[in-house]
Amino acid sequence: MRLLVSVIHEEEVAPAVAGGADIIDIKNPREGSLGAGFPHVIRAVRELTPPGVPVSAAIGDAPNLPGMMALAAAGAAACGVQYVKVGLLGPREPCDALLLLAAVCRAAREQDPAVRIMATAYADANKVGSLPPLDLPVVAAEAGVDGCMLDTASKNGATLLSLLGAAQLEEFVARCRGAGLLCALAGSLREDDVPRVHELDPDIMGVRTAACRGGRLDGRVDHDAVRRLKDRIESA
C-alpha cells in the first residue's frame, strides 16, 4: 500500500518526500475536499519532487459540467503530473458521471497520453447528494479511468471508516479489483487507522491532516508525521 500525501504549496514537498511519501498530491483544501491547486503551484511541486516520485493534481469537487472539467483536466495534465484526480460531487446518476469522466479522460490524454485519471466518490454521498460510492467502479471502467478513490466531501470530523461499514468498503475494493482499476482510500484518515485500511488492501492510502502539524487548512506537512504513517504502513 502506497502513501499519498496532499500538499498545498511547494514548501511542503521536501518534508513529505523526506518522510517517505510515495505520491505527492496537490490540492487546495480551501476550495473543497478535492479543491484544485493553481497551475503555477502544480508546476513548482512537480519540479521540486524527485523524478521517481509520482505527482497527482486534484481538479476539484466537480459540478455536473463536463466541458469545464475537461478543460481543468487538460490544464492539469499539461503541468506534467502523473495523475489527475477528479471528485464526482455534481453528477448524481451513473450516466452523468460517465459523460463527465469520459470528457476528462479524453482532454487529459490529448495533453499527455501517459497521464492516469483517478475518479473520486464520496463516503458521505447520501448527505451531499452525489454518486453512490459503490456505483463508481463500473462507471469509471466504462469511461476509461485508471483508478477510483473514496474521500469525504465534508470535513466535519467524520471519517471514511465512520461513514462506511466494513462490508461496503470491502465491496468497493473488490469492485475496483474486478474492473482492473487502482483503488485508493482517503477521507480524514488518521495514523491509528492504518492497520484497518491496510486490511482492506487498497493500492493507495491518502492523507493530509494526519501528515500535518496544525491541521489541514492552516497546518504544514510535517516530516515526522509522514514518517510515522509510513512506518505504520510498512509494519502493518
For the cut 90, the answer to whether the pLDDT of residue 155 exceeds it is no
The pLDDT value recorded for residue 157 is: 82
- Map out the domains of the chain with their CATH numbers: 2-235 (3.20.20.70)
**pLDDT per position as a tens digit, 38-84:** 999 999 999 999 999 999 999 999 999 999 999 999 999 999 999 99
Supply the pLDDT for residue 227.
98
Q: Which of 85, 127, 155, 230 is catalytic?
A: 85
DSSP letter assigned to residue 7? E
Largest CA-CA distance found in the chain, in angstroms, rounded: 44
For the residues 2-9, what does the mean pLDDT come to? 97
Is residue 230 part of the annotated active site? The answer reads no
**Average pLDDT, stretch 87-114?**
98
β-partners of residue 148 are 119, 183
- Which burial class, exposed, middle or buried, applies to 2 when counting CB atoms under 10 A from its CB (0-12, 13-18, 19+)? middle
Arithmetic mean of pLDDT, 164-181: 97
- Looking at the predicted structure, is the pLDDT value of residue 198 above 90? yes
* Catalytic choice (27, 127, 155, 230): 27
pLDDT of res. 216 = 81
- What is the tens place of the pLDDT at every residue in 9-49? 999 999 999 999 999 999 999 999 999 999 999 999 999 99
DSSP notation for 96-137? HHHHHHHHHHHHHHHH-TT-EEEEEEETTHHHHT---GGGHH
Of the candidate ranges 125-129, 152-156, 206-210, 215-219, the one whose mean pLDDT is the lowest: 215-219
Measured in degrees and rounded to the nearest 5, phi and psi for residue 211 equal -100, 0
pLDDT of 156 higher than 90? no
pLDDT at 82: 98
**Given CA atoms 16, 28, 120, 42 in this order, what sign does their dihedral have?**
negative
Q: Calculate mean pLDDT across residues 98-120.
A: 98
Q: Is 155 a catalytic residue?
A: no
